[in-house]
Structure 1
């Protein structure tokens, strides 16, 4: 299914949210959030897109690979770790929601608007993953 053709207005609404978070979240954090959620959700299309874009923007490939094991990796700042932990908690949203320690650590770093924007960024990539995975969207072929 091509969601943009099946529901153009709905697709534009998601694009609008994506545009908002791109304008309001630090680009490096946004890349890490998008990649981590996409890996967690098994979205090959999004993992390919975000790693390709990040490499083109000069992000270090080792850091991108290490997103899969961010807790064990030495390549991330405390702020990035807090964003990745929040991404995991929101993406995997269990019965008990986001653990207090994860939320409190993020709230100690970012003000309320910044934290709200991070939450919107995490939710937005999860929406994209939940569009791409069920519609079986594939990355372009290797050249």
Structure 2
């Protein structure tokens, strides 16, 4: 696959990409474990079919020492024993916020209550912003056909 254009955030100017990365940095400072955030990013990427993002986040999880079982099974997280209750709550919230049009009440009170058991308000905000920024990238990368990158050989 050949990209239709460079990354649109880079095309807009040198201040755009660093601004977006500042949002990601703010999310990281909330106490939500980076592994949980990467799982959320990966799951949203899978739902949206964004190969560039799936590659990016699965590679990040692997580099962080995550097992292949946890990386490979994110799409089936409900049916596997590989995730903590906190991670399950985060994945459920991310899925619901990514699939807003799939149901009338995508983020039910029950789902919200479960996530609230594991995360405080700032961390819930971080999970929602992480999901939102992830979905933002999922609109840009596939539309411009940004190819997944092979890891550097070394």
Match of 1:85 among 92, 98, 103: 92
Mapped to 2, the partners of 1:140 and 1:113 lie a distance apart of 33
Aligned residue for 2:144, secondary structure, equals coil
Mapped to 2, the partners of 1:22 and 1:128 lie a distance apart of 17
Match of 1:48 among 48, 55, 63: 55
Superposition RMSD in Å: 1.6
Mapped to 2, the partners of 1:114 and 1:53 lie a distance apart of 21
Whether 1:135 aligns to 2:144 is: yes
Mapped to 1, the partners of 2:106 and 2:58 lie a distance apart of 28
- Provide the residue aligned with 1:68 in structure 2: 75
TM-score normalised by L of structure 1: 0.91
TM-score normalised by L of structure 2: 0.85
Whether 1:4 aligns to 2:9 is: yes
Flag structure 2 segments of 5+ consecutive residues without an equivalent.
Answer: none
Flag structure 1 segments of 5+ consecutive residues without an equivalent.
Answer: none
Whether 1:104 aligns to 2:104 is: no
Q: Is the 8 A contact 2:10 2:16 kept in 1?
A: no
**After the TM superposition, which residues 11-50 of structure 1 pair with which residues of structure 2 at under 5 Å, given as runs?**
11-24=17-30, 25-50=32-57
Give the total of aligned pairs. Answer: 143
My pick for the range that moved more, 62-71 or 11-20, is: 11-20
> Deviations for 1:9-60, whole angstroms, at most 9, x for unmatched residues?
4433322212222333311111110100000000000111111121111011
Mapped to 1, the partners of 2:78 and 2:10 lie a distance apart of 40
